[in-house]
Amino acid sequence: MMSIIQVKGGSGKVGVDRTLFVGARIPHEIQAMVKPLTKLDKSVFTKILRVIVASVVGPQPDSSSLRSLVSDKLTDDTVAVIFCGLEKLLRQAWKVSTSSLKKEHFLQDLQELQIPAEFHEDLVSCVFGSVRGKIDEQLENARPGLPTLDHLGWRVDVAISTGVLNRVLVRGVTMDMTLSDGSIKDFEMSVSRFQDLRFQVASVLSEMEKLEKRSILKIKD
Amino acid sequence: MAAMFAASASLKKAVALINELDINRFPLLLSKILQKLHVQEERTFSEEEEEKLQSAFSMSSSDLELVLQTLEFILQQAAYHTAKPAVLGDQLRQLDLHEDKVNKIVEAWTAGARDLVQKLRERTVHPNQLEDVQWRLNLQVAQSTQTKMKLTNAFFQFGVRNEDTKKKENIRLEFTHEELYKFYNQLETIQKQLDSLS
């Protein structure tokens, strides 16, 4: 999508024919961190980046990871401002696929946003480097949705005899499903119901494959 | 074949009462009992109906009770053993039931046995039964953290009926392509087991 916007900022450039990856209006979190960034140590910057990445791919950082960066040169307010700004910047970059947002454009935008050049390399590796695969996976898994099937336990049995019938000889399938929300659902089904279930699942799989083949052609980046 | 019926005192009394019953009304009584035999926890006859039967057969309520229970018991035992009509007839004669009553019982059993046994075979102990399977296939294109996606997604709804509460629970799950494929492989394994048992 192309749109003509006026890029606001100290550089005063006008009429860039592409929206910045952060959006048409620069988020206030990013604007707020520009000044503090100019005085920031590279080592502290790298540490903050690590905390942001860890909050997505794990292990979950705790409050001490940022507090340890506070010093006489760096107040906790400033750390907070920089953390929020960088997190916003990275999340906007992660939101778009790497085929949509090219590295050169990313770097151009970083310049427009007045991010000091010494920090560009680290930011690029967060967005385009090897960690991106894990980040995409985590973001996808965290999407809202119905519970998924964590574990399926099953049993096939033959009822030989019951209290009311001496010779039954009927096969049945019993399942217990452990879902991602922690609940356990157990139920039984006749053989014909099981065949139906199997048929439905196979149908959906085949429909999925057809859909995937089709959509790759239509939805272009 | 072992005797289906032990000739206890109450059974002997019941036989005497049954022998006295009006033969014209007997077949109807039997078919009604047969119809309701597979249903648990439900009375075959309502209180009203029992009162009518009492007057129709000129019996006290306790005698009627015994007659109905015994007829139910006879048919239940026939079902349990999936008895051949001839065998049932012989066993009933041994109890000193009159020939006309024996014939009516065997007739009713011959007519209704197949349905009844089928219904009893379907009776299970597990309270939850899978009743139906519904699904929906989606293509997710975006979410709050990612744009321009192409994620195929299937929603499944398993309708499970609880035999005790009669309520139906809809279990809803979602699957990605990979997850569904894994589920399908598990179903294939189950199928193999079923095949080896048939």
Q: How many CB pairs under 8 A join A and B?
A: 162
Residue among B126, B139, B186 minimizing CB distance to A152: B186
DSSP assigned state of A21: T
**Does residue A18 surpass a pLDDT of 90?**
no
The residue in chain A having the minimum alpha-carbon distance to the alpha carbon of residue B38 is: A164
Among candidates B12, B22, B11, which has minimal Cα distance to B57? B22
Among candidates B103, B35, B101, which has minimal Cα distance to B67? B101
Among A25-39, A206-220, B68-82, B95-109, the least confident range: A206-220
Among candidates B132, B195, B173, B154, which has minimal Cα distance to A152? B173
Interface test with A, best of B120, B167, B190 (most A CBs within 10 A): B190
> Can you count the helices (H) and strands (E) in chain B?
7, 3
Banded pLDDT at A6 (limits 50, 70, 90): low
Give the whole-angstrom CA distance, residue B93 versus residue B72: 17
**Does residue A221 surpass a pLDDT of 60?**
no
User: Which one-letter amino acid corresponds to residue A27?
Assistant: P
Please tell me the predicted confidence (pLDDT) of residue B157. 97
B179 touches chain A (CB under 8 A): yes
Give the whole-angstrom CA distance, residue B72 versus residue B31: 11
The residue in chain B having the minimum alpha-carbon distance to the alpha carbon of residue A183 is: B171
B96 touches chain A (CB under 8 A): no
Over residues B107-122, the pLDDT tens digits come to 999 999 999 998 888 8
Over residues A99-120, the pLDDT tens digits come to 888 899 999 999 999 999 999 9
Please, which residues 34-93 of chain B have a Cβ atom closer than 8 Å to chain A?
76, 79-82
Residues of B in contact with A197 (CB under 8 A): 130, 133, 187
Among A46-50, A68-72, A134-138, B164-168, the least confident range: A68-72
The residue in chain B having the minimum alpha-carbon distance to the alpha carbon of residue A151 is: B183
Please tell me the predicted confidence (pLDDT) of residue A12. 42
Over residues B35-82, the pLDDT tens digits come to 888 877 677 788 888 888 888 888 888 888 898 889 999 999 999 999
B146 exposure class (CB count in 10 Å sphere: 0-12, 13-18, 19+):
buried
**Contact (CB<8Å) B143/A96:** no
The mean per-residue pLDDT over the stretch A188-204 comes to 96
The mean per-residue pLDDT over the stretch B111-139 comes to 90
pTM for this prediction? 0.76
Tokens of A50: 């690590």
**Does residue A15 surpass a pLDDT of 70?**
no
3-state secondary structure of B155: strand
**Does residue A192 surpass a pLDDT of 90?**
yes
The percent of residues above 90 in pLDDT, for chain B, comes to 44
C-alpha distance from A109 to closest chain B C-alpha (Å): 19
**Contact (CB<8Å) A173/B194:** yes
B9 touches chain A (CB under 8 A): no
> What are the residue boundaries of the structural domains of chain B, listed by start?
9-122, 128-197
Over residues B33-48, the pLDDT tens digits come to 888 888 776 777 888 8
Rounded to whole angstroms, what are the CA distances from A139 to A95, A149, A156, A167, B196? 9, 19, 38, 55, 43
